[in-house]
Structures are given as structure tokens and as C-alpha cells.
Structure 1
Amino acid sequence: MRDVRDLGSSHSWTLHQAVTGDGRQVFVKRARGAGDVFAAEAAGLRWLKEAGPRAPVADVLEVAGDHLVLPWLEETAPTREAAERFGRDLALLHLARPDRYGAPWPGKIADLDLDNTPDGGPWSRWYAERRLAPYLRRAAGTLGPGLTRRVERVLERIGDLAGPEEGPARIHGDLWSGNVMWTTGGAVLIDPAAHGGHRETDLAMLGLFGLPHLATVLAAYAETAPPAAGWRERTPLHLLHPLLVHTVLYGAAYAGRVDEAVRNLSG
């Protein structure tokens, strides 16, 4: 690598732009002792890419214990046309279904472990056991006993809240707007916590912090693979996992969002 330019840091790793020996511009994540993080990210990107030639996912150029190398992606302003294509391509990605929830590698979300133990479902039980309960235990001291107990009641009712069983979909798993890069070639997904999950999780997360042209993305998605009736009302359930993760990572600033999600599910 040459012409290395530091781009800052994220969680426990640093970010860089560099040029390879054959002249390609690349994006590099580097850390000491972060092999499981980079291995999980690389496995997720490659697994999502297996969905087909239209999977809007970044390529993995190299991965090792202390670094991950991806192509350098030139960002551009998102357009309505790019949003429509992204919606259709995301639907096709979800339709490339695995046969189990979870994934055949140890998962990570940021620096936190993510239990990807393959499981036949149903999704409601899997989600409660593998995505909500572990982070609720870690967030309980921040949320306090009252809110913690209210989230526990959501877990107890999850079979009624989850909607119709669809079977596992191939999902990104951390699809907030910062993980959608708009390039001259269209939207490209980065930084997944990929696994077999519920496709409504990706749809819910697209709106967590706002996505450009979100209505256009969702309309194009629905033309290709319409979500089940009532999916918007189930959005708070799917957001509970990322909100609990953010509470573990960043503290009490997210407790109010957890409380809002629970209130919406209780109403």
C-alpha cells in the first residue's frame, strides 16, 4: 500500500484511503487484534453478494486479522432513479432466502458479539432469544428497572407482535442510512451485520436515522416483493434490537428511543 491517507476512526479500528501496488484506490480498516470483527464483516459481505449479480454490496478485496480492504467508492448525491433501483435490488437480495435464521459464522455488530447460531425458527422466538434478550441484559443498568421490565413484557408477547411468519431472508442486519453509500453506479451496502433474519428488520432500519428518497426506495421494493400487511406498525419491534445495541454502546441517550418503541408496541 502507498499514499495512505488517514480518515479517522470508528469503534476500535482506524479508517484509511490507500493505493495498491497496481494503482487501485482502496478503503482500508485497520486495528490490532480485531480479526473476529473483520472476519465477520467480510463473511457477511460475501454472503450477501452470493444473492446474485444485482446484490448492491461492496466487494471484499482482502481480509486478515488486523485489516480489511474494500474498493474505494466515490460518493455522489442520491437520485430518484438510484433509489428506485436500490429498492428493487434490496427486494431481490431478501428473496435469495437462506434455510435458517442466523449465519454460519460468529457475528459482530460494532464491537459487540452477535449470536448467529443457525436456528430453524420461528423468527419471533429467535429474535427474542438471539437479538433482544442479550442486549437487554447489558442495557438494563442504563434503562432502569421500570423500562427494563416493560421491554421484558414485549419479549413475553413477541409471538403476538411479530406478524405472519415468512421464513428467513438474507438481510444486511444493520441497514441504517450511514451503511448505504450512494455512488455513480448506484447504492452500495457496507458494514453489514448480515444473517438470515426478517426482511422487515432492514426496512425498519432504513428509516431509523432517515434515508434520502426513502419513500421511493420502499415503493420500488414493494413493487418487487410486497411486505406483509401491517409491516409499518411492526417497525418499533424491529428497531428494538438496534436501539438496545446503541444503548449498550453509547449509554442513556438512547433510553428515550427504547421507551418510545415500547410505547408504540403497547398502544
Structure 2
Amino acid sequence: MWQAIAEHISSELDTNFTVDDKRQLSGGDSNIAFKISGAGRDFFVKINQRQQLEPFATEALSLRTLRQHHCIKVPEVICYGQTIDKAFLVLEYLPLLDESIDGWQQLGEQLATLHQQHEQAMFGFDWDNALGQTTQPNKWQSNWSSFFSEQRLGWQLQLLLEQGFGFGNIDYVVEQCRQRLAHHHPAPSLLHGDLWRGNVGFTANSPVIYDPACYYGDQETDVAFSRLFGRFPDVFYQSYQNVNQLPEGYEQRKDLYNLYHVLNHAYLFRGGFLVQAQEMIKQQFY
């Protein structure tokens, strides 16, 4: 396997790379991660079963799209591919340091700058991708209220129903969500899509984000999710607002947006997230 990965790296970089050292890293939820070294260079490698090539390919697309905007540092994609029995994604290796107030301030400013770029006229993405291990549909739509209610809440509710977990009438919830957002007309912003503390790090010079689930949507969804599991420090939100003021009504919409992520956690992990999802749906729609 490592020989095949080294050959892919060599081909992509037009150099002769061999794996002289490899070290498994901790922290991966669904993939096995390694730091590999050779010829004076280090790379970060994700490994999974062969059928996981498509999620790696869409992750690479998201990272490259974020990188093209030159707002926030993300790991450079080196290559991805398959061996006889494994799929892999090779990224630039970035040594991470402890978080700092300056780093969080930078991240707030940089995310706000990313969200201010509105080159896309519709909501969605060129490919479906994954939120964690859950397929995330991204069919292009011109109306945000329809996109979010159908492809975010409706999609997750249907997945849960197929697993035997019903949360009321899906059509009713989707329609209520659409009505809640009917008079909110955000410009499409490129989103990280899975912005929580576990997907943020800090190098010596700048913050870095990774493991994205990108699509073009309402900027508020990134900011809202950053408050759900391990809220970012206050300086992040202050610096974001200094660059890009959140619209009126954000405080009323943030829990609606975070319901999507709670439903996804209910689908993936069950347990208390099922109860949390039920309570949130009751508060939002009943």
C-alpha cells in the first residue's frame, strides 16, 4: 500500500518520493491517519476502505475550492486514489500549535472575508459530499428556504425515518421550515459546512481549517454551528462581526440551522442526540 501511495505522490509532484518513516496519528473518527516522511518532506495521509474513494475525492474538491479563495489557510491537496484494498487522501502536513487569542481573531476576520465573496448565484455545490459519514446532497437551487428545508432538514429526517426514527410529519416540518425562511434572502457564500472546534487548528503563522463539507449557502449556518459543540471564544465572533455584520434575525435562525447538525448526530450516534433532536423539532415547529 505504501509503495503505491508513494508512487502517486511521486507522479503528482514529479519527483522521486519514498516513504522513509510513517507514524499513525490519533483523533480520526472514521479514517486512519498517518504522518509520512521522505526526502525532507512530510505529508498527512488518510486511509480507509477502497469504497471510500468518493468521499476523499469530494473532500479534496472542497479543500481546493476553499484554497482558491485565498481567505483561510487549508491543507494543500497532494493526491488521492486507491490501492488494491484501500482508498487514500494525501495532504500537506501542517504542524499545529496551541490555540491563541490572536489566532481566533484572525479566524473570525478570515471567515467573514470568505463569506463576503458572492461569486455564485445559486445555493448548492458541483457535487454531493459528506457531513461526517452522511451523504450531503447539494443540488443547485435558487431559493435558500427551499434548499435548506428540503436538502438539509428534509433529507436528514428521511434518513432517520429509514432507520426507524420518526420525528413527525416530514412534509409538515419541511413546509414550516420553508415558511420560517421565506423572507430571508441571503447571498450564497462558500461555507466550510462543518465548522466546529475539531476542524480548526493553528500553525505558527495562521489558523487553518480542514475536514470541510463545502457548499454555497447562508453564511449564518457556519457561524451558528461554531456555537453548538464547543463554542468558539468570544473574540472570534467579535472579529467576524467587525468585518461582516450578521443580518437582523440571526439569533432567531441559528437554532433552526443547528437542527441540521443535531439531526445528523442523531443519525450517526443515536443516544442523547435523538432526544435533543426531538426537543428541538418540538420547539421549532410545534
After TM superposition, the score normalised by the length of structure 1 is 0.89
CA deviation profile, 1:152-210 (whole Å, cap 9, x unmatched)? 54422123322621121100111111011122222211000001111111001111111
Q: Distance in 2 between matches of 1:116 and 1:266?
A: 24
Matched, 1:45 2:66: no
Query: Secondary structure at the residue paired with 2:242?
Result: helix
| Alignment-mate amino acid for residue 41 of structure 1 | E
Query: Which residue of structure 2 lines up, in the alignment, with residue 67 of structure 1?
Result: 88
Runs of 4+ in 1 over 6 A off after TM superposition: none
Q: Percent identity?
A: 27
**Which structure's relative contact order is higher, taking Cα pairs within 8 Å and 6+ residues apart?**
1
Give, in angstroms, the shift of residue 245 of structure 1: 1.2
Q: 1:160 to 1:129 in 2, by over 3 A?
A: closer
Deviation larger for 157-166 or 111-120: 157-166
- What aligned pairs does 1:59-208 form with structure 2 within 5 A after superposition? 59-65=76-82, 66-97=87-118, 98-120=120-142, 122-140=143-161, 144-145=165-166, 148-149=167-168, 153-162=172-181, 164-208=184-228
Q: Does 1:32 align with 2:53?
A: no
Maintained 8 Å contact 1:150/1:262: no
What amino acid is the match of 2:241?
A: A
Letter paired with 1:177: R
Kept in 1: contact 2:75–2:93 (CA 8 A)? no
**8 Å contact 2:72–2:107 — kept in the other structure?**
no
Rounded to whole Å, the distance in 2 between the matches of 1:252 and 1:124 is 30
What is the Cα deviation at residue 137 of structure 1?
A: 1.4
Q: Is contact 2:56–2:80 with CA below 8 Å preserved after alignment?
A: yes
CA-CA distance at 1:13 after TM superposition: 2.5
- Cα distance in structure 2, aligned partners of 1:210 and 1:12: 20
Is 1:22 equivalent to 2:39 in the alignment? yes
Q: In structure 2, the residue corresponding to 1:178 is in which secondary structure?
A: helix
Cα distance in 2 for residues equivalent to 1:26 and 1:149: 47
* Structure 1: stretches of 5+ with no match in the other structure: none
Question: 1:142–1:35: structure 2 CA closer, same or farther, 3 Å change rule?
Answer: closer
| Counterpart Cα distance in 2 of 1:39 and 1:234 | 32
The one-letter code matched in structure 2 to 1:140 is: L
1:220-231, aligned counterparts within 5 Å? 220-231=239-250
Deviation of 1:142 after TM superposition, in Å, equals: 6.5
By how many angstroms is 1:256 displaced? Answer: 2.3
Structure-2 separation of matches of 1:105 and 1:224: 30
Change (3 A) 1:150 1:260: farther
Give, in whole Å, the separation in 2 of the partners of 1:22 and 1:144: 52
Cα RMSD of the aligned pairs, angstroms, is: 2.1
- Structure 1 residues 67 and 203, CA, compared in 2 at 3 Å: closer, same or farther? same
Contact 2:115–2:219 (CA under 8 A) maintained in structure 1: yes
Query: Which one of 252, 258, 262 corresponds to residue 271 of structure 2?
Result: 252
TM-score after normalising by structure 2: 0.84
SS of 1:85's equivalent in the other structure is helix
What are structure 2's unaligned runs of at least 5 residues?
Answer: 1-18
- Deviation larger for 160-169 or 89-98: 160-169
Could you tell me whether the CA contact under 8 Å between 1:143 and 1:252 is conserved in 2? no
Larger radius of gyration: 2
Residues 245, 72 of structure 1: alpha-carbon distance in 2 compared, 3 angstrom cutoff: same
Q: Give the equivalent residue in structure 1 for 2:73.
A: 56
